[in-house]
Structure 1
């Protein structure tokens, strides 16, 4: 059997569904509900909850919770809108809580 190295991924901690690529990490210096969180430019295999205004540490944002598309585990949230100019860079980006994702370094075939 050949062993192929694939892209570094992050998967749901509950069911190992692939949810983000390591190459899409923008920052590892964010705070989630229960600890450290990562900011990603893209996410996959997720379902978005309803949009709601939420007062976060950096001000008021419109966000939608992110759920794993397989097991429905809450993984974080998507920034839909930032009300402060200094926070606009977050719009359309995804926060995934470190405790909810598992790093996957390679695939074996």
Structure 2
């Protein structure tokens, strides 16, 4: 395994890991602020960078069963949220391939 390089993001608002400030996503990739994580409010993003994905597992959530994988910061390994792999409810399929980042684990960088 080679070295891992982190991507740096640019824009009017960049979200980073609250522990090490590694860039994760921009405001332009945010889809919704109306989500809840395991520890409070969360945001739904179209794309996230500088993460490592865990193994998929089925989880019962308030909107039904989903196959998700936890996501971690590539630099400090802090758990940041999860990625939706599969939604079993037809009305929730828009979440597939999207990412949840918990608000209290994010900071504004730049």
TM above 0.5? yes
Secondary structure of residue in 1 paired with 2:94: helix
RMSD, aligned CA: 0.7
User: How far is the alpha carbon of 1:22 from its aligned partner?
Assistant: 1.0
- Select 2:94's aligned residue among 71, 82, 89: 89
Q: Report what 2:74 is aligned to.
A: 69
CA offsets, 1:30-83, max 9 Å, x none?
000010000000000000000000001100000000100000000000000000
Q: Report what 1:36 is aligned to.
A: 41
> How many residues were matched structurally?
100
Matches within 5 A, 1:1-109: 6-7=10-11, 8-104=13-109, 106=110
User: How far is the alpha carbon of 1:87 from its aligned partner?
Assistant: 0.1
User: How far is the alpha carbon of 1:16 from its aligned partner?
Assistant: 0.3
Secondary structure of residue in 2 paired with 1:19: strand
Unaligned runs of 5+ in 2: 1-9
- TM-score (normalised: structure 2): 0.89
Unaligned runs of 5+ in 1: 1-5
